[in-house]
């Protein structure tokens, strides 16, 4: 005859085994989510870096492209006129750094769709993190790359000096 204590021991062992299996499955699922998120974030980095690299290769200011600079920085483009649309240009045919202001594009990769947004502002050497509110010899480009599948927006900044 089977002893009741043996049945209780077997049931206890089954419960402990089931809890261990559940814990392992949860860990594996969490790990897969983490790996997928990391892969998507790594894919977002070159998208933002591409915008930075394109902007770096452009002239500092539209007036420098046309050769009409006599008083620096007062002859630079007003920040109200930043963006390619103000001078009839469209991405990717920008010719100066501040044309990237207001850029909002989507890029599709094999793993998803990414939104890329950019802003440009004048900054000062003493406070490069804040909009100066007036013309200076420094412009900062902020690029944000996001996707519905990554929890945080990937942000980049680059400062171009005259």
For 100-152, write each residue's pLDDT tens digit.
Answer: 999 999 999 988 899 999 999 999 999 999 999 999 999 999 999 999 988 89
CA distance 83 to 77: 10
Grouping H, G, I as helix, E, B as strand and the rest as coil, residue 59 is strand
Domain ranges of the chain: 4-161
Question: Does pLDDT of 1 surpass 60?
Answer: no
Average pLDDT over residues 30-49: 86
Residues forming a β-bridge with 114: 107
The CB-side HSE value for 161 (13 A sphere, CA atoms) comes to 3
Distance separating alpha carbons of residues 136 and 149, to the nearest angstrom: 38
Spatial distance between the Cα atoms of 119 and 135, rounded to a whole number of angstroms: 16
Q: How far apart are CA 158 and CA 57, in angstroms?
A: 12
- Scored b (16 or more CB within 10 A) or e, 63-89 reads bbeeeebeeeeeebbebeebbbebbee
How high is the mean pLDDT of the chain?
88
pLDDT of 143 reads: 98
């Amino acid at each position: 005859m089977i002893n009741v204590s043996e049945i209780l021991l077997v049931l206890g062992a089954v419960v402990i085994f089931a809890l261990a299996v559940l814990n392992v499955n949860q860990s594996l699922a969490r790990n897969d989510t983490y790996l997928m998120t990391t892969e998507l974030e790594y894919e977002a980095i070159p998208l933002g870096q591409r915008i930075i690299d394109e902007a770096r290769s452009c002239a500092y200011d539209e007036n420098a492209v046309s050769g009409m600079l006599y008083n620096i920085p007062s002859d630079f483009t007003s920040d109200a006129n930043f963006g390619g649309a103000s001078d009839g240009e469209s991405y990717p045919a920008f010719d100066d750094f501040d044309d990237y202001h207001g850029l909002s594009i989507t890029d599709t990769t094999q793993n998803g769709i990414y939104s890329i947004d950019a802003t440009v502002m004048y900054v000062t050497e003493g406070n490069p993190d804040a909009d100066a509110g007036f013309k200076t010899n420094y412009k900062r480009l902020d690029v944000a790359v996001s996707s519905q599948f990554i929890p945080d927006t990937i942000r980049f900044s680059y400062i171009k000096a005259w």
